[in-house]
Structure formats: C-alpha cells, structure tokens
C-alpha cells in the first residue's frame, strides 16, 4: 500500500504585523529583524480566533482539495503548542466543527516539529490498517504565548494553520521518515507556567512565566545539527541521495538556518522553499502552509520528491520524504 497526501490546505489570519510596526512595540528595527531572521511580517489571529478556528478553515480546504466526503475521515490529529484549552483536545473541537463526530481525535505536542510527527503518526495508522483516511493539522496561535516585551522572541513568531488529508495513493507517497528528540535541551525553549510543574498563580504574572522563553543561540546550534542528522536517516530509509530531492520544505524558523543547511548540503537555495519573510515562524503550521503555497505556485508537480524537516521545542526534530502523488 502506498500512502500519501490526498489534499492540502492552509489558512492565515487577515491581520498583518510588519517589522515597521514592531519598532513601536519593542526596541528593534526593520533592518535588524530582516537581516538576522529573514522575516519581514507575520500574521496575527483576531481576538475571537483560536487554534481550532484556524485549524477548521485549513481542514475544509484540504478536504475539498482531496475531493472526498468529510465522513470518510476516521481520525483527526492536531499538532499544536497552543491548544484552545488544556482539556478538551483541540482535535475534538475541530472534529465537531467539521461535523465528523464518529472520527477519533487527539492532539499532538511536538512544538515546531509537530506536523512531521503528526503526518508520520497518521501514515502509521493507515499503514497498520486501522484507518483509511486521516486528517492531519499543524496549527498554532503563538501570539497568545509571546512576551511582547521580549524582542528575542516576539519578533519571530506568527499565527497560522495547515492541513493534509492522508490516504492510499496509486503512486509515490511516503517514502521514509525519522522522528527524534533530545529532552536534555527541554529548558532551551519552554513556556515555564503551562502545566502541572508550575501551575498558574499570581507570582507567574510577575515572572512572566506564562510566556515562551527561548535560548536563541542554543536553538540555532541545535537546528543546524539536527537538520542534517535526521535528513540522513530519512534518505537512507528511502534509498535516496540528497541530489534526488526536488524540493526541500524546512521548518520556517530563520533564513540563516536554511542558508547554512543549503551550503552544507551543497544544494542551491532555489531548491529550498521559503515563505518565512511573509509569515514568520508559525510553529507546527510552517511546513503544511509551505507545501500548500509551493503547490499553488506550481513548484510541486506529480512525481517530485519532497523533503520535510522540522525542529523545535522538546527538543524535537524529524523528517520525512514524500513523492508527490497529485
């Protein structure tokens, strides 16, 4: 059985927050942000938009693109760091919004690697014969957990969602993948007060521990190490070489990371899809949004081999290789 993406879709909030506007929020400049990160603007969810809302809109597009009836979906997985609630799962809310109440649903938290983790999990359920069609979503509203006084983090992230319907395909599909984690680096990218370790109390507001904290230097070093490591594993499993990849779709965190990897792989930047200049880092949503945009721009055609690579909090990282089936 060959398993691949039947349909893809994405959704970005309407509000655009430019670097120039960021200058009035924190001590920074447009030139500094652009030169250090490659980001020029990002999308910010409306006050009444939560992760499930973004997920739902992306999911509808993916289902339509797949050309299937929504009731064919048997499992919904939402990869997110910013769920609507700690309980119930955002996936359950999305399942209800779509109206597929008999489908199983659960969330997956692997930070910026979330979509790769969720896609591999969905693939595995289908491969095992448990389900035939799985809806996989990567979505985050990171603007809700940003400290807008911390220029080291608030300039980097944006909000968005991307979704894919997985199922059996005639040709191509999932060729190989790899999931890894390095929990020793958990403190390098963390929201300290977001669970049972440090419950939300008044002192949390003083320490601002309800917001994301990141050691940017360590995360950069981790990313440039993890990217080639997980890529090598996926290539071996797929029986391919780096030259066999038609389009690299990396997690959209920082242009310097992507440029460093391109140089290391001795591959032209033209083979790396980049849209972080428009959206910033949308965490679990970056990869599916990029796939959708690249497809719509005609940069993906049937038979193309795509390498998806994610890295983020956990520390988690992973990759997978797909041969485009549509």
**Could you give the residue numbers annotated as active site?**
112, 251, 281
Instruction: Report whether 217 contacts 299 (CB < 8 A).
Output: no
Half-sphere exposure of 213 (CA within 13 A, CB side): 13
The residue among 232, 304, 296 whose CA lies nearest residue 261 is: 232
Place of tokens 């909030």: 13
Q: Please, which residues bridge with residue 306 across strands?
A: 247, 322
The whole-angstrom separation of Cα 78 and Cα 80 is 6
Listed residue (35, 13, 33, 14) closest to 23, CA to CA: 33
* Residue-wise DSSP of 299-325: ---TT-EEEEEEEETTTEEEEEEEE--
Phi, psi values for residue 14, rounded to 5° = -75, -35
- Residue given tokens 């190490």 in the structure block: 225
């Amino acid at each position: 059985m060959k398993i691949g993406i039947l349909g893809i879709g994405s959704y970005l909030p309407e509000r655009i927050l430019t670097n120039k506007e960021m200058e009035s929020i924190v001590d920074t400049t447009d030139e500094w942000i652009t030169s250090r990160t490659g980001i020029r603007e990002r999308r910010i969810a409306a006050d009444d938009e939560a992760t499930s809302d973004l997920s739902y809109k992306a999911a509808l597009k993916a289902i339509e693109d797949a050309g299937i009836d929504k009731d064919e979906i048997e499992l919904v997985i939402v990869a997110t760091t910013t769920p609507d609630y700690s309980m119930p799962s955002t996936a359950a809310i999305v399942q209800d919004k779509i109206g597929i109440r008999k489908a199983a649903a659960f969330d997956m938290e692997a930070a910026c690697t979330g979509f790769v983790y969720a896609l591999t999990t969905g693939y595995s359920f289908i491969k095992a014969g448990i389900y035939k069609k799985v809806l996989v979503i990567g979505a985050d509203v990171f603007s809700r957990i940003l400290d807008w006084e911390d220029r080291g983090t608030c300039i980097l992230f944006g909000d968005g969602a991307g979704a894919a319907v997985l199922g059996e395909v005639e040709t191509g599909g999932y060729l190989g993948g790899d999931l890894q984690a390095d929990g020793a680096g958990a403190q390098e990218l963390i929201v300290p007060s977001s669970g049972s370790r440090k419950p939300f109390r008044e002192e949390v507001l003083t320490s601002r521990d309800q917001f994301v904290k990141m050691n940017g230097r360590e995360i950069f070093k981790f990313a440039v190490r993890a990217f080639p490591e997980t890529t090598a594993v996926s290539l071996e499993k797929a029986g391919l070489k780096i030259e066999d990849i038609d389009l690299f779709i990396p997690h959209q965190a920082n242009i310097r990371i992507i440029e460093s990897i391109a140089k290391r792989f001795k591959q032209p930047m033209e083979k790396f899809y980049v849209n972080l200049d428009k959206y910033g880092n949308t965490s679990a949503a970056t990869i599916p949004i990029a796939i959708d945009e690249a497809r719509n721009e005609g940069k993906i055609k049937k038979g193309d081999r795509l390498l998806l690579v994610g890295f983020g909090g956990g520390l988690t990282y992973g990759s997978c290789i797909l041969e485009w089936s549509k």
